[in-house]
Amino acid sequence: MNQIPDIIRTIPLNYYLYFSTALFIIGVIGVLIRRNAIVIFMCVELMLNAVNLLLTAIASYRADTNGQVFVFFIMAVAAAEVCVGLAIIVMTYRNTRSTDVQLLNNLKW
């Protein structure tokens, strides 16, 4: 992979950077303002996918496979996180009958 394909060069790297940053910020805002645990979780996944997109773009432009391998690791770890996360949300739902995070306020000072 020493040659960068021309098709990739047609869009400058900066565009990928702006697009990924925008996706990432949308994810951050979603985490901060949404109240449903599952939607918050989807926003976190959006952040991770923004990271994946940027990684592949940078790796393509640098003709370096390291970045693309990193994407596989992020995907695998994100899958593990989904397993644990959804299990935790289901467990909470069984006790509270809701996925609204505002209801969880037993612990505060």
Residues engaged in binding another protein (CB under 8 A):
17, 24, 27-28, 31, 37, 40-41, 44, 47-48, 50-51, 54-55, 58, 62, 64, 66-67, 69-70, 73-74, 77, 80-81, 84-85, 87-89, 91-92, 95-96, 101, 104, 106-109
Q: Between 5 and 21, whose beta carbon lies closer to another protein?
A: 21
Report, in Å, the least distance between residue 76 CB and another protein: 9
**Count of all residues that appear for the chain in the document:** 109
Q: Between 10 and 106, whose beta carbon lies closer to another protein?
A: 106
Q: Between 5 and 76, whose beta carbon lies closer to another protein?
A: 76
Report, in Å, the least distance between residue 10 CB and another protein: 19
Q: What is the DSSP letter of 101?
A: G
Distance CA 36, CA 76 (A): 25
| Under 8 Å between Cβ of 59 and 74 | no
Distance CA 18, CA 26 (A): 12
Report, in Å, the least distance between residue 3 CB and another protein: 17
Phi, psi of 3 (to 5 degrees): -100, 130
Structure tokens at 19: 């697009």
